[in-house]
Structure 1
Amino acid sequence: MLVKNIMSRNLYVAHPKTTVTDAQETMRRENIHHLPVIDDHTKKLVGIVSEKDLLYASPSPASTLDVYEMTRLLSKLSVGSVMAKKVVSAHPQDLVEDAARKMVDHDIGCLPIVDEDNYPVGIITESDMFRLFIDLFGTREKGLRATLRIPEEPGELAKLGSDVSEHNGNIVSIGTWPGERPTDALCIMKVTGMTREQFISSVEKHILEVIDIREV
């Protein structure tokens, strides 16, 4: 799957001269937590500001300033003075897993999506990744979810798929992860059209262990 398939295209942005109060209002109104910052003239990406950045820029609740003084102070503070200028971004044609790796490696909550000329065309957030995770596991569809320990050998998934198909089962989702030993792997599979007993009977000759199985 590509970044363009899950990114949000309804993009809200700020400019370097946007005030902190205006940026905060946009985030509250649109229920978002990040704003890409684009240059007024070139319209290219020059930074990004987060809800946390704006919070840190605001006076402390323990401040002796009254509400009017705080408002006046924030009205003079621009996004350009608090935004992150070194922006980690992605391209619409990037793989989703590469985008997720960037977010994890850089410990960031979003990725602005830019085209070849650095023009913002979308954004991916942690929420988009969570929704993808839910879809990949078929979470919204009822079925039988099994965690299996299988041999780490070529063709094992094909064998499991064939076993399920031969017993009129339908695989909703399937994925593998490294096991505790180099010789085995964990397989998480969700199927429909089979009882627990039918599923175990169909796959038991090609697996090492049924770690967990449940109706969800």
Structure 2
Amino acid sequence: MIIERRMTKNPVTITPDASVVEASDLMKKEKVHRLPVLDKDKNLVGVISEKDILFATPSPASSLSIHEMAYLLSKLTVKKIMSKNPVTISKDTPVEEAARLMVDQDLSCLPVVENGKLVGIVSKSDMFKILLELFGARHFGVRVSFLVDDKPGTIAAVSRVISDAGFDIISFGTFMGTDPSNAICTIKVQGCTKEKLTSLLSPLVKEILDIREA
């Protein structure tokens, strides 16, 4: 899966010279937590987030009056507090590479750029939606996690025995196991009972860790 298929296309944007108040109002109106910042030539020059605005807002303990604080914020522009030169990705970036970048660099979003122009944005919320989709969270079935030896053919054997029994695997994920010699797999199967799935998998896996209807 590439990011183009799951990014938010044509995201709401703002200009560098807009006020912080305008940015805050636009986020509330559009129900977003961050805005890409585009210059007059539509080039991406930064990203402003709710957190940026929060840090720029005077503390409630300030001696300034409400009117004074509102005035100062109205004069503060987006370009003064935005995150400049944001990390970007292309629309053909794999979703797992986008997720790795966000985790490794502690990013809340990644603008998607093509030929220097913004074409989309992907956020942590988008990544959670992908996770839900990956694990078939919106589809009912039997979900089972099990420990297997990390060797060629193991996953193929599991898939084959379920398919040969006439059941449908709707999600299949693999994770690091308890040591380098094994892996943990989590699958969701439709049309099968917990008891039947246990009997099919037990001869093939080291241990069934969890099984439930979900």
Matched with 1:24 is: 24
Which amino acid in 2 is paired with 1:64? S
Task: Determine the C-alpha separation between the residues in 2 that align with 1:61 and 1:152.
Answer: 56
Matched with 2:168 is: 170
Which structure 2 segments of 5+ residues have no match? none
The structural deviation recorded for 1:127 is 0.5
Which aligned segments of 4 or more residues in structure 1 are displaced greater than 3 angstroms? none
Task: Determine the C-alpha separation between the residues in 1 that align with 2:39 and 2:191.
Answer: 55
Matched with 2:206 is: 208
The structural deviation recorded for 1:69 is 1.2
* DSSP 3-state at the match of 1:150: strand
Task: Determine the C-alpha separation between the residues in 1 that align with 2:181 and 2:47.
Answer: 45
List per-residue Cα deviations over 1:28-79 (Å, max 9, x = no partner): 1111111111112x21001111111011111111112122211111111100
Q: TM-score, normalised by structure 1?
A: 0.96
The structural deviation recorded for 1:86 is 2.6
Task: Determine the C-alpha separation between the residues in 2 that align with 1:183 and 1:122.
Answer: 40
Which amino acid in 2 is paired with 1:69? E
Task: Determine the C-alpha separation between the residues in 1 that align with 2:20 and 2:151.
Answer: 56
Which amino acid in 1 is paired with 2:22? D
Identity, % of aligned positions: 42
Which amino acid in 1 is paired with 2:139? E
Matched with 1:74 is: 73
The structural deviation recorded for 1:204 is 1.6
* DSSP 3-state at the match of 1:182: coil
Task: Determine the C-alpha separation between the residues in 2 that align with 1:166 and 1:9.
Answer: 41
* DSSP 3-state at the match of 1:53: helix
Matched with 1:96 is: 95
Q: How does 1:43-192 map to 2 (within 5 A)?
A: 43-116=42-115, 118-192=116-190
Which structure 1 segments of 5+ residues have no match? none
* DSSP 3-state at the match of 2:13: coil
List per-residue Cα deviations over 1:175-205 (Å, max 9, x = no partner): 1112112221101011011111211111222
Matched with 2:4 is: 4
Q: TM-score, normalised by structure 2?
A: 0.97
Q: Is the 8 A contact 1:177 1:186 kept in 2?
A: yes
Residues 59-68 or 18-27, more deviating? 59-68
Residues 105-114 or 58-67, more deviating? 58-67
* DSSP 3-state at the match of 2:96: helix
Task: Determine the C-alpha separation between the residues in 2 that align with 1:197 and 1:53.
Answer: 52
Task: Determine the C-alpha separation between the residues in 1 that align with 2:105 and 2:35.
Answer: 18
Q: Is the 8 A contact 1:15 1:39 kept in 2?
A: yes
Task: Determine the C-alpha separation between the residues in 2 that align with 1:130 and 1:143.
Answer: 20
Q: Is the 8 A contact 1:167 1:198 kept in 2?
A: no
How many matched pairs? Answer: 214
